Structure 1
Amino acid sequence: MPDDHLVTLYHLNDLGPDELRRLLPGHPDLRITEIGPDEDPHDHRAALADATVVLAPLEKERRITAELLAQMRRCRLVQSVAVGFDGVDHRAAAELGIPVANLPGFNADAVADWAVGALLYLVRHYAAGHARIAEGGWGPEGLRGRDLAALTVGIAGFGTIGRAVARRLDAFGSRVLVHDPVPSEPEREYVPLDELAARSDVLTLHMPLNDATRGLVGDALLARMGRGAYVINAGRGGVLDEDALVRALDSGQLAGAALDVFAEEPLPADSPLRGRSDVLLNPHTAGVTHEAYHAIRARLVESLDRVLSGQAPRNVVNGVIVNHAQPAPAR
């Protein structure tokens, strides 16, 4: 559409203005403004006020706030270039009639692969075995692991990624239990969260972060797990109370944990999770693969082309219903 203005605060995967223009040849008149990764979006109010489409930042510190959204009177879409959408105040956007969309599912296989790989890392003592040989040792003492077919794995959050994890565990022969408010595969065994923890040898978290889930997996829930159980978090960092996790590990209640996400990222240098042999730490890269990279680019371009062509956006996460993509009414 004429006079469209794309403002991007997204800075991964080499998607700068030149690359975006190359990927959107059907919109030769599109204006593109890039707000750099070290720049505060509040210093670019004029560009955002003129934007018709905005690519949200990944960093919560550079979040598109309610104050900025109130000035974005032409905005037809704030697009998150991820599954999560922490880079924009989506509730404020909803009140202003601005749709916020995400890109679900592009890295579901990547995250599911990591979660099952992390499970194997924990229950088969990969790190301890490697360290034994590296230190000149040998032998199985203390390295007796578990067969995945003998384990009950509880999946908390059964969206696209949770379902992908379940399919992989089915192939290993694990017993799979599920907790999710919306049953998507009725043949699965759905249980309340407390029961999920109590019955699972391994609890793997794939839940969104919101007011209801923040800190949900804490002392009380971890205490319900059998002694020597494991926890994996490849969902959102704030769902798991990291202090409670450390206490459970120190007491022996948990035998180990694997974390791809953290309440604060990067993980603080003084975090008690660092330097532990019973914790696998990963820098929020479970979903980073070559295949996921190409998938996210393709889905982003599809979303942008759709909205810039005057169609309603897909995958809107904040409840704004758009029948057709016209400039937002004056607010």
Structure 2
Amino acid sequence: MSEHLVTLYHLNDLGADELRRLLPGHPDLRITEIGPDEDPHDHRDALADATIVLAPLEKERRITAELLDGMRRCRLVQSVAVGFDGVDHHAAAEHSIPVANIPGFNTDAVADWTVGALLSLLRRYAAGHAKIESGGWGPEGLRGRDLSALTVGIAGFGSIGRAVARRLDGFGSDVLVHDPVPSEPDRTYVGLDDLAARSDVLTLHMPLNEATRGVVGDALLSRMPRGSYVLNAGRGGVLDEDALVKALDSGQLAGAALDVFAEEPLPADSPLRGRSDVLLTPHTAGVTVEAYHAIRARLVESVDRVLSGEAPRNVVNGVISDGVRPSAGV
């Protein structure tokens, strides 16, 4: 039976024709696209026959435990991102289906966004632009802060957190770190409460799980120095957005920059909208030309590897595979 790739991933130009062009070593590969407006549950037969599935980005189109139960030929569910919210990876593990992600492809992009967004908050670039556009001039209301004078706390010190720290070192900021696994012994590691209490800026790069969901809320924000800043380019659910709005309204926080949100797209009635003290971007911190080329190359490498009978890399759900999926009785 021939190899069959089913893709629920829809972004840029990685459709069936482009995937075939990028995988010339597998001329007999069948590719099925399930469109962005289609429910994967309406395509059970295609998924049941798939040997590789590219997971969707949208949580609403998630590959559920019910679908995974019928995917008896599947040797890999590949997330085309760092995150893997588009698949129930726990259920996949129960069916011995590896789920892999693509880590690190946009590390520099997200780190650049973080420092750029922070500078925008500190120096009030948008307000200055608006002042000129409205016919104004002069520094009134535009007094900023020097990044070199501030202590920046980094919550989550994986590859992106470390890249942010390297950039902040160049600005001369004091950097504090919170992470359960110390990776750079020369850094100052502190608990999360201590991090908040000592940081003029708190930037979040934490994974979302039961331990971190909503962890940055009223209690933690109240520990920060008055007039401080919060940035989130990690996972939306880590930050309690209602608590953030209250902290901004009270003056406890001077500003915030967010690229990720608890609900995406950000609801039209979100109180985060329309504020001069908040910078919002639509989950695009990691979107650059260089990151795009990197993720394409890594995706093709991963798919080619499994189609060639090798075990997948960057498996996130603990399934050890030798590249051959058991028949499970079929």
Aligned counterparts of 1:302 and 1:13: Cα–Cα separation in 2 = 18
Tell me the residue number matched to 2:258.
259
Aligned counterparts of 2:326 and 2:262: Cα–Cα separation in 1 = 35
Deviations 1:193-214 (A, max 9, x none): 0011110000000111111111
Aligned counterparts of 2:276 and 2:168: Cα–Cα separation in 1 = 25
Shift of 1:126: 1.0
Aligned counterparts of 1:169 and 1:186: Cα–Cα separation in 2 = 17
Tell me the residue number matched to 2:242.
243
Aligned counterparts of 1:303 and 1:104: Cα–Cα separation in 2 = 12
Aligned counterparts of 1:326 and 1:103: Cα–Cα separation in 2 = 21
Tell me the residue number matched to 2:215.
216
SS of residue paired to 1:74: coil
8 Å contact 1:259–1:281 — kept in the other structure?
yes
One-letter amino acid matched to 1:283: P
SS of residue paired to 2:305: helix
One-letter amino acid matched to 2:90: R
Tell me the residue number matched to 1:84.
83
Aligned counterparts of 1:21 and 1:99: Cα–Cα separation in 2 = 23
Shift of 1:329: 4.0
Aligned counterparts of 1:142 and 1:45: Cα–Cα separation in 2 = 59
SS of residue paired to 1:67: helix
Aligned counterparts of 2:100 and 2:182: Cα–Cα separation in 1 = 23
Tell me the residue number matched to 1:228.
227
SS of residue paired to 2:166: helix
Shift of 1:47: 0.6
Q: 2:328 aligns with which of 316, 321, 330?
A: 330
8 Å contact 1:150–1:174 — kept in the other structure?
yes
Aligned counterparts of 2:259 and 2:53: Cα–Cα separation in 1 = 28
Deviations 1:58-104 (A, max 9, x none): 00000000000011011110000000000000011111111100000
Aligned counterparts of 2:21 and 2:7: Cα–Cα separation in 1 = 15
Tell me the residue number matched to 2:168.
169
Q: Which runs of 5+ in 1 are unaligned?
A: none
Q: Which runs of 5+ in 2 are unaligned?
A: none
Tell me the residue number matched to 1:39.
38
Tell me the residue number matched to 1:138.
137
8 Å contact 1:75–1:328 — kept in the other structure?
no
SS of residue paired to 1:293: helix
TM-score by length of 1: 0.98
Matches within 5 A, 1:307-326: 307-322=306-321, 324-326=322-324
SS of residue paired to 2:299: helix
SS of residue paired to 2:140: coil
Shift of 1:141: 2.1
Aligned counterparts of 1:63 and 1:212: Cα–Cα separation in 2 = 22
Shift of 1:240: 0.5
Matches within 5 A, 1:1-331: 3-322=2-321, 324-330=322-328
RMSD: 0.9
Aligned counterparts of 1:51 and 1:163: Cα–Cα separation in 2 = 38
SS of residue paired to 2:77: strand
SS of residue paired to 1:170: helix
One-letter amino acid matched to 1:78: V
Deviations 1:249-274 (A, max 9, x none): 00000000000011111110000000
Deviations 1:276-326 (A, max 9, x none): 00000101011111001100000000000111100010000111112x100
8 Å contact 1:98–1:328 — kept in the other structure?
no
One-letter amino acid matched to 1:217: V
One-letter amino acid matched to 1:218: G
Aligned length: 329
One-letter amino acid matched to 2:145: R
Aligned counterparts of 2:209 and 2:29: Cα–Cα separation in 1 = 35
Shift of 1:142: 2.4
SS of residue paired to 2:135: coil
TM-score by length of 2: 0.98
Shift of 1:146: 1.3
Aligned counterparts of 1:313 and 1:104: Cα–Cα separation in 2 = 14
One-letter amino acid matched to 1:326: V
SS of residue paired to 2:175: strand
Aligned counterparts of 1:310 and 1:107: Cα–Cα separation in 2 = 28
Identity %: 86
Shift of 1:129: 1.4
Aligned counterparts of 2:320 and 2:154: Cα–Cα separation in 1 = 31
